[in-house]
Chain A
């Protein structure tokens, strides 16, 4: 049985690859037969000529037998496929523009779709770059619910809880944890300090994620951290090694200063790896958890407290253990651990779970992120739909244009199947060419994205590409087939006689394609523009350029600071004011919550506002914040320290919020109340001041209320206004603080110019991505239009010829065709209108509240108009080119076809 299969397979391969040789063999064999037969007849006494004739008679028709022989070998189809391909290539060479258009549409569609899909996958399914992709790699997540029924937020594990997890040997083969801190990094050979991130790791971290060392060795922390441990070694990320050390090969053994602590570099991690979960920014180094006390100046005992919840954890499941089983045990452990922790003040609860270490594993599930993923997914699908619609329109058009050619072949006796196969071969050829070019586009787009988003794993995925390619191929075949079947069913005579009759049905289908396409493109463009606008407004222009160059943000990460340390820090920051070049110091505002506010029942009239509640960010700030930022009060006064203890909570609101709530009335003394549960504002708020919302604060452009918050604050971020250029002040400030508070971690000093530049970088990447997608959509739509009008021209060649012969001017012909194209475009725009409105509503519902979305919504009609005008212009251009060409048709050429 095996040998039979083998023989047949070998024979097939031989027949496919040794076609020429087998052909030769066959002819030799038959020639030999004839020679032998001739000899036989000659021996019987026939003359050589007679003998040859007799042999030939006996043999029968050589050509017939050879053809039969080829058939028997199964070679005929190969030969005809080769002929089809050759014919297809010749056909495309004759109509290069049409062929290039189809290939380009396919390529853009496939390339952009695959790239978007790759991003989609990276966000939803893939592990972080450099992390080994394996099914048994899981994340253990601590989670906490501030209130019963509320969202789950992420909570770190305490070290003792992490130890308990590590001991579950029947569940996990490896368990590792880490905690991230911002630090200042100084390499010894340059006195320039930079901010970096340290992940203090516990357990076999690198082994768990499957990361190897690029240089030197990796950290293998001792399984148990004891109180006296202090291993001051570090592993650099590959990017940090290149960025801060120029990729020096002798980096191993160097001593660097991390928050002023000498640390020895022992190795560099493999390229791309920047943490077990996607971590933006590349300046990462890893140190053992035991070094954390020294580097972060924290209390040596705090690590062993069950209330120091700082660790994130990952693990490898033991063979045969399912995620469900691990989850069950981890939840029991979490419940046990929760009982030993300081109780929550609310009715919330603590828990933990186990999820695969892939995609976004962060809590709370980010609704903005989900929306972005949705946009990506829908966008990718739409691009593919657009491309396929286009390809089908173009292929159908090409099929119609060739009806006459097909008919001639049919009347010459070609079988229907043969012609259908010819057309399908052509479609496949185009699809393959488009697919290959699409791969190139896909590769270059993902390469650019990967440099911009190192935290995303965008490695090419064979499955995605294959799927897209097959999809495009399928489209080509299906739509190549449909006109082929139609064309071959035609009554030969009528088609031979006239090329324009009966074409209306097919061109109506094509027109429908274009209308659908424009109807889909419009909301796509509107949505993309809106996302772009939001991104620019959100991260872009905040404060004046002059201010950004004279403002420094100083951040200190204090780990469970004592009141004394905090007081020392406050004093040190106050002292900064006297430093030369410093104009003022104030504590940075910090967001507390996003709440729904409404106008409170007026104590005088008892009236309750009928307005819908407004979502507003509540910010804790300190006196002098607005003055430092040169944000003037248009009404009332700024906050004062005494406001924290007033009966009603004194707040300052933006003029935009004032306008929204009180429509131009004086809001001073008016009261606000929170409508939702979970009292962030524990009392009613009274407006004491209104700041000019056209001037930006450091807190973004959304609607905000600012208040002084009594009691301790856990953040330690200050704003330093300088009279000298801020960039030059960073070093003296750091030196000053180091001297003033030697026991404190140095802290991060960043100028606002840098902060905004970083933000803008992201905006730039996002907007360039969105712009690219928008342009791709527009490109596809215009090609579709172009194809349809081109087809209309081809179909009306005869009519145009007659018109021209009867004296129509070129301009009139252009207008005639122009109207066809524009009518389709306008129809598409009208149909797309409700879709666009739906997209706008979706965007406004899903993301953002307050000023940004307000602004975006007010500009929505303008965006809509702009998009409509753009689509019309593109449509006009796409129509104009073939229309002009048609007007130059020589009347005689068009009429000769009669």
Chain B
């Protein structure tokens, strides 16, 4: 039986994308595979919803994209984080940690 999948929290996808891209620039397809792998299929994300998130981040100047040749010889759009994206990620991660820390504390105490 597959694990129960949790609905994605608003804005979380942006955070995941930025975090993944910070490690290494990559294209949309590879990123979707990695999200599935890392989140062990817990997060219920359509592969397709990754793209609007990427475009939104691109429009806000958090990521930038160039068409590059991949290892397999295809043309693919490769995304990377900009400095603004890195800054945003740091902020978001901090606030997420504060939030989850507080929530965890509450759940442990009661």
Q: What residues of chain A lie closer than 8 Å to B29, measured between beta carbons? A: 32-33, 36-37
Partner of B28, one of A4, A29, A64: A29
The contact string, 1 if C-beta is below 8 Å from chain B, for chain A 53-68, is 0000011111011001
The distance in angstroms between the C-alpha atoms of A33 and B32, with both chains bound, is 9
Instruction: Pick the interface stretch among B3-11, B45-53, B102-110.
Output: B45-53
Q: Is the CB of A4 within 8 A of B83?
A: yes
Interface residues on A, range: 20 to 34
Q: Is the CB of B51 within 8 A of A26?
A: yes
Given known contacts A33-B28, A72-B52, A72-B55, is B61 in contact with A60 (CB within 8 Å)? no
The distance in angstroms between the C-alpha atoms of A11 and B82, with both chains bound, is 13
Q: Is the CB of A73 within 8 A of B59?
A: yes
The distance in angstroms between the C-alpha atoms of A4 and B61, with both chains bound, is 6
Given known contacts A3-B83, A65-B52, is B59 in contact with A59 (CB within 8 Å)? no
Chain B residues 26-74 with CB under 8 Å of chain A are: 28-29, 32, 46-49, 51-53, 55-56, 58-61, 64, 74
Chain A residues 99-144 with CB under 8 Å of chain B are: none
Q: What residues of chain A lie closer than 8 Å to B58, measured between beta carbons? A: 11, 73
Q: Is the CB of A58 within 8 A of B47?
A: yes
Q: Is the CB of B48 within 8 A of A60?
A: yes
The distance in angstroms between the C-alpha atoms of A33 and B61, with both chains bound, is 23
Q: What residues of chain A lie closer than 8 Å to B59, measured between beta carbons? A: 8, 11-12, 15, 72-74
The distance in angstroms between the C-alpha atoms of A32 and B83, with both chains bound, is 28
Q: Is the CB of B28 within 8 A of A69?
A: no
B84 at the interface (CB under 8 A from A): yes
Please give me the residue from chain B that is nearest to A55 by CB atom. Answer: B47
A344 at the interface (CB under 8 A from B): no
Q: Is the CB of B83 within 8 A of A71?
A: no
B77 at the interface (CB under 8 A from A): yes
Please give me the residue from chain B that is nearest to A22 by CB atom. Answer: B55
A30 at the interface (CB under 8 A from B): yes
Please give me the residue from chain B that is nearest to A7 by CB atom. Answer: B61
**Min C-beta distance of B77 to chain A, whole Å:** 5
Q: Is the CB of A65 within 8 A of B51?
A: yes
The distance in angstroms between the C-alpha atoms of A69 and B47, with both chains bound, is 13
Q: What residues of chain A lie closer than 8 Å to B82, measured between beta carbons? A: 3-4, 7
The distance in angstroms between the C-alpha atoms of A12 and B61, with both chains bound, is 10
Chain A residues 730-787 with CB under 8 Å of chain B are: none
A25 at the interface (CB under 8 A from B): yes
B76 at the interface (CB under 8 A from A): yes
The distance in angstroms between the C-alpha atoms of A249 and B45, with both chains bound, is 83
Please give me the residue from chain B that is nearest to A62 by CB atom. Answer: B48
Partner of B61, one of A8, A32, A65, A73: A8
The distance in angstroms between the C-alpha atoms of A30 and B47, with both chains bound, is 10
The distance in angstroms between the C-alpha atoms of A29 and B47, with both chains bound, is 12
Q: Is the CB of B49 within 8 A of A72?
A: no
The distance in angstroms between the C-alpha atoms of A3 and B77, with both chains bound, is 21
The distance in angstroms between the C-alpha atoms of A33 and B51, with both chains bound, is 10
Chain A residues 1-53 with CB under 8 Å of chain B are: 3-4, 7-8, 11-12, 15, 25-26, 29-30, 32-33, 36-37
The contact string, 1 if C-beta is below 8 Å from chain A, for chain B 76-92, is 11000011100000000
Given known contacts A32-B29, A59-B46, is B52 in contact with A11 (CB within 8 Å)? no
**Min C-beta distance of B2 to chain A, whole Å:** 14
The distance in angstroms between the C-alpha atoms of A4 and B64, with both chains bound, is 11
Q: Is the CB of A68 within 8 A of B52?
A: yes
Q: Is the CB of B52 within 8 A of A71?
A: yes
Q: What residues of chain B lie closer than 8 Å to A36, measured between beta carbons? A: 29
Given known contacts A29-B28, A72-B56, A73-B55, is B84 in contact with A37 (CB within 8 Å)? no
State the total of A-B contacts with C-beta under 8 angstroms: 73
**Min C-beta distance of B55 to chain A, whole Å:** 4
Q: What residues of chain B lie closer than 8 Å to A8, measured between beta carbons? A: 59-61
Q: Which one of A11, A61, A72 has the greatest number of beta carbons of chain B within 10 Å? A: A72
Q: What residues of chain A lie closer than 8 Å to B56, measured between beta carbons? A: 72
Q: Is the CB of B47 within 8 A of A59?
A: yes
Given known contacts A37-B29, A58-B46, is B77 in contact with A25 (CB within 8 Å)? yes
Q: What residues of chain A lie closer than 8 Å to B53, measured between beta carbons? A: 72
The number of residues on chain B lying at the interface, defined by a beta carbon within 8 Å of a beta carbon of chain A, is 23
Q: Is the CB of B61 within 8 A of A29?
A: no
The distance in angstroms between the C-alpha atoms of A65 and B55, with both chains bound, is 11
Q: Is the CB of B48 within 8 A of A30?
A: yes
**Min C-beta distance of A891 to chain B, whole Å:** 56
Q: What residues of chain B lie closer than 8 Å to A73, measured between beta carbons? A: 55, 58-59
**Min C-beta distance of A427 to chain B, whole Å:** 30
Q: Is the CB of B49 within 8 A of A68?
A: yes
Q: Is the CB of A65 within 8 A of B60?
A: no
Q: Is the CB of A60 within 8 A of B46?
A: yes
Q: What residues of chain A lie closer than 8 Å to B51, measured between beta carbons? A: 26, 29-30, 33, 65, 68-69
**Min C-beta distance of A180 to chain B, whole Å:** 66
Q: Which one of B29, B74, B76, B84 has the greatest number of beta carbons of chain A within 10 Å? A: B29
The distance in angstroms between the C-alpha atoms of A15 and B84, with both chains bound, is 19
**Min C-beta distance of A292 to chain B, whole Å:** 72
The distance in angstroms between the C-alpha atoms of A61 and B51, with both chains bound, is 12
Please give me the residue from chain A that is nearest to B87 by CB atom. Answer: A4
Q: What residues of chain A lie closer than 8 Å to B77, measured between beta carbons? A: 25, 29
The contact string, 1 if C-beta is below 8 Å from chain B, for chain A 448-473, is 00000000000000000000000000
Q: What residues of chain B lie closer than 8 Å to A30, measured between beta carbons? A: 48, 51
Q: What residues of chain A lie closer than 8 Å to B84, measured between beta carbons? A: 3-4, 7
**Min C-beta distance of A20 to chain B, whole Å:** 16
Q: What residues of chain A lie closer than 8 Å to B32, measured between beta carbons? A: 33
The contact string, 1 if C-beta is below 8 Å from chain B, for chain A 374-409, is 000000000000000000000000000000000000
The distance in angstroms between the C-alpha atoms of A69 and B89, with both chains bound, is 21
Q: What residues of chain A lie closer than 8 Å to B76, measured between beta carbons? A: 29, 32
Q: Which one of A7, A8, A60, A61 has the greatest number of beta carbons of chain B within 10 Å? A: A7
The distance in angstroms between the C-alpha atoms of A25 and B32, with both chains bound, is 18
Partner of B52, one of A4, A32, A69: A69
The distance in angstroms between the C-alpha atoms of A137 and B32, with both chains bound, is 71
**Min C-beta distance of A38 to chain B, whole Å:** 11
**Min C-beta distance of B49 to chain A, whole Å:** 6
Please give me the residue from chain A that is nearest to B31 by CB atom. Answer: A33
**Min C-beta distance of B89 to chain A, whole Å:** 14
Q: Is the CB of B74 within 8 A of A32?
A: yes
The distance in angstroms between the C-alpha atoms of A794 and B81, with both chains bound, is 61
Q: What residues of chain B lie closer than 8 Å to A32, measured between beta carbons? A: 29, 74, 76
Please give me the residue from chain B that is nearest to A36 by CB atom. Answer: B29
Q: What residues of chain B lie closer than 8 Å to A58, measured between beta carbons? A: 46-47
Q: What residues of chain B lie closer than 8 Å to A29, measured between beta carbons? A: 28, 51, 76-77
Q: What residues of chain B lie closer than 8 Å to A3, measured between beta carbons? A: 82-84
Please give me the residue from chain B that is nearest to A3 by CB atom. Answer: B83
Q: What residues of chain B lie closer than 8 Å to A59, measured between beta carbons? A: 46-48
Q: Is the CB of B48 within 8 A of A61?
A: yes
Given known contacts A15-B59, A59-B46, A60-B49, is B64 in contact with A7 (CB within 8 Å)? yes
Q: Which one of B48, B49, B53, B61 has the greatest number of beta carbons of chain A within 10 Å? A: B48
Please give me the residue from chain A that is nearest to B55 by CB atom. Answer: A72
The distance in angstroms between the C-alpha atoms of A62 and B58, with both chains bound, is 20
Question: 3 tightest CB-CB pairs across the interface, nearest first?
Answer: A60-B46, A68-B52, A72-B56
13 other A-B residue contacts (CB within 8 Å) besides A11-B61, A73-B59, A74-B59: A8-B59, A29-B28, A29-B76, A29-B77, A33-B29, A33-B32, A33-B47, A33-B48, A59-B47, A60-B49, A71-B52, A72-B56, A73-B55
Mind listing 23 A-B residue pairs with CB under 8 Å?
Answer: A4-B61, A4-B82, A4-B83, A11-B58, A25-B77, A26-B55, A29-B76, A30-B48, A32-B29, A32-B74, A33-B28, A33-B51, A36-B29, A59-B47, A60-B46, A61-B48, A62-B48, A65-B46, A65-B51, A68-B51, A68-B52, A69-B51, A73-B59
B residues touching A (Cβ–Cβ < 8 Å)?
28-29, 32, 46-49, 51-53, 55-56, 58-61, 64, 74, 76-77, 82-84
